[in-house]
Amino acid sequence: MALSDHFRELRARVLKVALTFLVVFAVSLFFFDQLFDFVYGPYEQANNGLPPQSSLAITQGPGGGLMLYLKLCGFAALLVTCPVWLYQIWAFVMPGLHPSEKRWTRIFVAVAVPLFLIGVLLGWVTLPKGLEILIGLNPDGITNLVDFNEYLQFLTRTLLVFGLAFEIPVFVVMLNRAGVVKGRTLAQYRPWIIIGIFVFAAIATPSTDPFTMTIMAVPMVILYFISEVLARVHDRRKAESSLNAGLSPDEASPL
């Protein structure tokens, strides 16, 4: 295809994504109350475990309510349309890939998406406990006024951090497939990598409690062990295939 044809195809796919997003965004406006209850749930659950009047969710400015509608419904539309814009990106890139690259990309997507969702689910489960600890740090007699827009940013950041953290082992396996990282190297630096995982979990989790950090770090360590095993198996198979390379059908291999 000519460069102009690529641009026209890109424009068509962007328009499809934008149209789908606008339709879902308009529909989500009618379900704002349900979306609000869903997002407000962890905060309310955390607030119930604290003394009365210890915190309060607010919005600021005359346009605070409007911005809350736009942000919440926009975030919901972005999540709902995720399969659409991911497919459009894949469909735009796929013609330029080799058959082997297409196969590994499909495997990558099939594994990465469930891991991301599992990470988001764990972040959602631990969010109330983290909020309870953070809000409970306020001294007695002090009311914590929380801007709901800031709370929404805190929630989305927490869920994204958990989701992206679970993608790290997938990238380790892909780097091993590309020949950048060897399974033997992963085993050699395993203790330091585990320490680094716990340090990353302590920094990445917004709350300061060890419970949330452990919930993120332990599954990451398990996934790291799995990625290390897969990397070592791949290296072993690659070494065996290199030994057999260039042999005639009647010639015995060194094995």
Burial of 72 per CB tally in 10 Å (0-12, 13-18, 19+): buried
Q: Per residue, what are the HEC states of 145-202?
A: EEEHHHHHHHHHHHHHHHHHHCCHHHHHHHHHHCCCCCHHHHHHCHHHHHHHHHHHHH
Q: What is the pLDDT of residue 158?
A: 81
Q: Alpha-carbon distance 226 to 210, whole Å?
A: 24
The pTM is what?
0.70
231-238 contact pairs (CB < 8 A, 24+): 231/172, 231/173, 231/176, 231/181, 231/182, 231/183, 231/186, 232/183, 232/184, 232/186, 232/187, 233/183, 234/176, 234/177, 234/183, 235/176, 235/182, 235/183, 235/184
Place of tokens 């796929």: 94
Query: pLDDT by residue for the chain (255 residues), tens digit each?
Result: 677 777 888 888 899 989 999 999 999 989 888 888 888 888 777 777 666 555 556 666 677 778 888 888 888 888 788 778 877 877 777 777 677 666 776 777 777 778 888 888 888 888 887 777 777 777 766 767 777 777 888 888 888 888 888 888 777 877 777 677 788 888 888 889 888 888 888 777 766 667 777 877 888 888 888 888 888 887 888 777 766 555 555 556 555
Q: What is the pLDDT of residue 134?
A: 75
Q: Alpha-carbon distance 178 to 149, whole Å?
A: 42
Q: What is the pLDDT of residue 24?
A: 92
Q: What is the pLDDT of residue 22?
A: 93
